Amino acid sequence: MKIGIIGAGNMGGAIARGLASNGDVDSSSITVASPNRKGELDALKNEFAELNVSIDNKDAINNADIIFIAVKPWLLGEVIEEIGLLYKSQTIVSVVAGVSCNEIAKMLGVDSPKIIRLIPNTAISVGESMTFIATNDEAKEVSQFINALFSKMGKSMIIEERNMVGATALASCGIAYALRYIRAASEGGVELGFYADSAKEIVMQTIKGAVALLEHTGNNPEVEIDKVTTPGGITIKGLNAMERNGFSNSVIEGLKSSTK
């Protein structure tokens, strides 16, 4: 299985590192191309000596079975045009948000292309992404292989393409929302008397513990909340104060705004 990756920025580089590290794909079978990112290409080559890098996108297209496109949206048309000239039934995996499989197929201008949309989040760089996969009919078989690959870089899920916008809000934008909570709670910790680094460490471990509880028990979050909200206790007072200030509604409205 030969893989080409067009784009060596944050996402393209993270995908290359993840694939080269997980052992399912030989590094020598991966080519990363980016005309304007020689520094990033050199850094990838220094990390993975067997990885192939190039400043010519054609090198990532030729002989590839799967071609990842991880470029800015305004570069997509130019890249698709290059792929179209060399297309030989490869599977195209787009990491470009907001462009449907049908739109990519029309841009490609060939009969029955295999198109997959892939939306990871930035935690892919540390092997903890929540990755979503949607596909057209022609690429459904290949999507299982892609799902298996990306499940080793966190968790991955095959979804209907109509849910891609919501998935992006929950997981890709959601990284920023979770980090904003950590920042706010850390600032609160400083107000409670802790130094900033200590407050952040406390909040991070608390979040990690909350996630571990849900993973271990499979419970609805409210079940675990009930365990620490004793009648008249400080936890329920804190939760009610947060709700009076719009905590849950702010989260829901923020997610909904991310889909517009």
What does the DSSP assignment read for the chain? --EEEE--SHHHHHHHHHHHHHSSS-GGGEEEE-TT-HHHHHHHHHH-TT-EEES-THHHHTT-SEEEE-S-GGGHHHHHHHHHHH-SSPEEEE--TT--HHHHHHHHTSSS-EEEEEE--GGGGGT-EEEEEEE-GGGHHHHHHHHHHHGGGEEEEE--GGGHHHHIIIIIHHHHHHHHHHHHHHHHHHHTT--HHHHHHHHHHHHHHHHHHHHHH---HHHHHHTT--TT-HHHHHHHHHHHTTHHHHHHHHHHHTT-
What's the confidence (pLDDT) of residue 243? 96
CB 128 within 8 A of CB 104: no
Distance separating alpha carbons of residues 208 and 186, to the nearest angstrom:
14
Beta strands 66-69 and 30-33, pairing class: unpaired
Tokens of 118: 């892939």
> How far is Cα 132 from Cα 120, in angstroms, rounded to an integer?
6
Predicted pLDDT of residue 85:
85
Q: Which two tokens stand for residue 158?
A: 């095959």
Distance in angstroms (rounded) separating the CA atoms of residues 20 and 120: 17
- For the record, the structure tokens of 106 come out as 């029309």
CA dist 108 and 103 (Å) reads: 9
Query: Which pTM value belongs to this model?
Result: 0.88
Question: If you count them, how many residues does the chain have?
Answer: 260
pLDDT at 133: 96
Regions of the chain where pLDDT drops below 70: none
- Cβ neighbours of residue 257 closer than 8 Å, sequence gap 6 or more: none
Which pLDDT score, from 0 to 100, does residue 161 have?
94
Q: Domains in the chain and their CATH numbers?
A: 3-159 (3.40.50.720), 168-257 (1.10.3730.10)
- Token reading at 258: 């991310």
- The predicted pLDDT at position 171 comes to 94
Q: Calculate ∠ Cα 254-258-260, nearest 5°.
A: 120
pLDDT of residue 128: 92
pLDDT (0 to 100) of residue 26: 86
pLDDT in the model for residue 196: 97
